[in-house]
Amino acid sequence: MYIKQYDVIAKISGSIDDKLVSSAQIAIRGALGYSIMDVSRELYYYVFKPKRGRFRGIMLRKLHEIPKPYIITPISVIDSNTIRFGLRILGNAIYYEEQLVNALTRLEGRNLYNIHIDSVEKIECINEIGGFTSIIYDKGTGAFRASDIRLAVSDKDIKDAALKYSMIVSNRGHRLIITTVTPMLLLRNGINVVKENKVKLSDIVAYAARRRSLLEYFYGSRRLYYTPEDVKSMMEFVDSSTKIHRSAFEEVDIKVKDKRGFCRGLIEFSFINRDDYIARIIELLMFVRFIGIGKMTVFGFGQLALSFM
């Protein structure tokens, strides 16, 4: 499954503070939905609001909702009248690139709470592992230039990076830190385990493996990336073969569709046993950086970063 990140650099008017940035990020999704509908109903019902009739397979009978193959990535403030925000596209949805870029340019003139997008100046396609970038839209020329497939992060890119890091961890016993890039809300048996500081690595593995598998099924190879047996084995491994050194989360003042309880924080852990499973766990945790886990991922929540000490 391929992953592409599109970063939008936009000129804005309106005052900016941290809380407003969070609110604007939530509002981007709604504005983007209108823009996508303006561009293509086909794209809207495949990416933004997946219509069951567009898909096939036994999993349709088991799900109330089809997962959406995109994530709004965090807003960053460049200066008092310029912001950067992103749209991450997953799987076969990357082949709608020209329509997606067209929709992003149509955010121009829209309001995001108290922020008004005066102009979309530039859109970049970024390979988030390789670190290279290509400008695919510039307001000055108004021209769209399709990005190369090399700008997409692939399964192989993530597997290769995971294998490299797993060898370092296995040989040197490094600690790993999972940090929230955006606030996260995870439930286990109806309990918000992040807010209660009771989150386990197996909670993260369970959410991540399910989301990774469903995205692969609907927007990739039409197969589940992990079998139920795979998920069970990985959950048992992380609970029995890791040591948690630190776990600290704090609730943030955000409300989305009447949901509260989103938290920021980190988990610091190490592997007790050396095992081939380490590479699989690290691969999954690296994937979480791109796909997000938990509630309201399409709004940009539940994005995690993995680092090594």
pLDDT bin (cut points 50, 70, 90) of residue 74 is confident
Once rounded to an integer, what is the mean pLDDT over residues 143-153? 89
Quick one: 217 and 301 in the same domain?
A: yes
Task: Say how far apart CA 33 and CA 31 lie, in whole Å.
Answer: 5
Q: Where are the alpha helices (DSSP H) in 15-66?
A: 18-39, 41-43
Q: What is the pLDDT of residue 163?
A: 87
Q: Which residue has the higher pLDDT, 197 or 19?
A: 197
State pLDDT tens for residues 99-109.
999 999 999 99
Q: What is the pLDDT of residue 172?
A: 61
Task: Say how far apart CA 3 and CA 95 lie, in whole Å.
Answer: 11
Query: How many Cα atoms sit within 13 Å of 241 on the Cβ side?
Result: 16
Residue with tokens 């809207």: 44
For the beta carbon of residue 240, count every other beta carbon within 10 angstroms.
Answer: 10
Residue that terminates a domain, selected from 151, 166, 189: 151
Q: What is the pLDDT of residue 171?
A: 66
Quick one: 287 and 178 in the same domain?
A: yes
Quick one: 35 and 159 in the same domain?
A: no
Query: To which H or E segment does residue 136 belong?
Result: strand 133-138
CA distances from 57 to 1, 194, 298 (A): 18, 33, 23
Q: What is the pLDDT of residue 108?
A: 94
Q: Which residue has the higher pLDDT, 50 or 166?
A: 50
Residue 215 has pLDDT above 90, yes or no: yes
State pLDDT tens for residues 161-193.
888 888 877 766 688 999 998 899 999 999 999
Query: To which H or E segment does residue 135 belong?
Result: strand 133-138
Quick one: 179 and 162 in the same domain?
A: yes
Please report, to the nearest 10 degrees, the dihedral formed by the alpha carbons of residues 265, 238, 299, 35 taken in order.
140
Helix (H, G, I), strand (E, B) or coil at 274: coil
CATH code of the domain containing 161: 3.30.70.1900
Quick one: 86 and 173 in the same domain?
A: no
Q: What is the pLDDT of residue 150?
A: 87
Task: Say how far apart CA 170 and CA 303 lie, in whole Å.
Answer: 25
Quick one: 141 and 225 in the same domain?
A: no
Q: What is the pLDDT of residue 266?
A: 95
State pLDDT tens for residues 250-301.
999 888 878 889 999 999 998 887 677 888 999 999 988 888 899 888 888 8
Tokens for 145? 């230039």
Spell out a b/e string for 41-67, using b for 16 or more CB atoms within 10 Å of the CB, else e.
eebbbbbbebeeeebeeeeeeeeeebb
Quick one: 191 and 261 in the same domain?
A: yes
Quick one: 109 and 170 in the same domain?
A: no
Angle, vertex CA 204, rays to CA 261 and CA 265, nearest 5: 50
Helix (H, G, I), strand (E, B) or coil at 140: coil
Domain of residue 139, residue span: 3-151
C-alpha 206, offset from chain centre: 16
Quick one: 75 and 209 in the same domain?
A: no
Query: To which H or E segment does residue 238 belong?
Result: helix 228-240
Quick one: 127 and 10 in the same domain?
A: yes
Quick one: 159 and 304 in the same domain?
A: yes
CATH code of the domain containing 65: 3.30.70.1890
Q: Which residue has the higher pLDDT, 21 or 276?
A: 276
Quick one: 146 and 183 in the same domain?
A: no
Count of domains forming the chain: 2
Short-list 62, 87, 75, 45, CA closest to 224: 62
Residue that terminates a domain, selected from 131, 151, 171: 151
